[in-house]
Amino acid sequence: MTKDNSNTDLLLTHIIKGIEDVKGNDIVLMDLREIENTVCDYFVICSGNSNTQVNAIVNSIQKVVSKSLKDKPWHIEGTDNAEWVLMDYVDIVVHVFQKQTREFYDIESLWGDAKTTAIETNY
């Protein structure tokens, strides 16, 4: 049985739009579908310059996805200190980092087998 990816693709598009609307930095899409025993199909990773911007990115993603797709994250954690906020949309997990926290945890390297795509932004 093949999975319908159109909903996932739409969700990815709206998540990225939410990040871009508040000028999130260094947006990376990691495709985990070819890796065994992963918890989701995709990671979307981005950075904010401060805890204020990290929270703005999280709020923007929620607003764009909710308005467009009537969907909301299954779980969110990390908003208290906003150094690393994880948003779980089941098939897609969004990681919103402050720059130094992203460099410290370096999850792009931990998931080095994933197909990684940098999302170009025009700002």
- The pLDDT, as a whole number, for residue 5 is 74
pTM of the model: 0.94
75-77/84-88 β-pairing: antiparallel
Q: Measured between alpha carbons, how far is residue 53 from residues 8, 9, 43, 96, 101 in Å?
A: 25, 25, 20, 10, 14
> How confident is the model at residue 2, as a pLDDT?
43
Which residues, given as ranges, of the chain have pLDDT below 70? 1-4
- Convert the pLDDT of each residue in 13-38 to its tens digit: 999 999 999 999 999 999 999 998 89
Please report the pLDDT score of residue 1 as a whole number: 36
CA 56 to CA 90: how far, in whole Å?
Answer: 21
CATH topology of domain 6-118: Beta Polymerase; domain 2 (3.30.460)
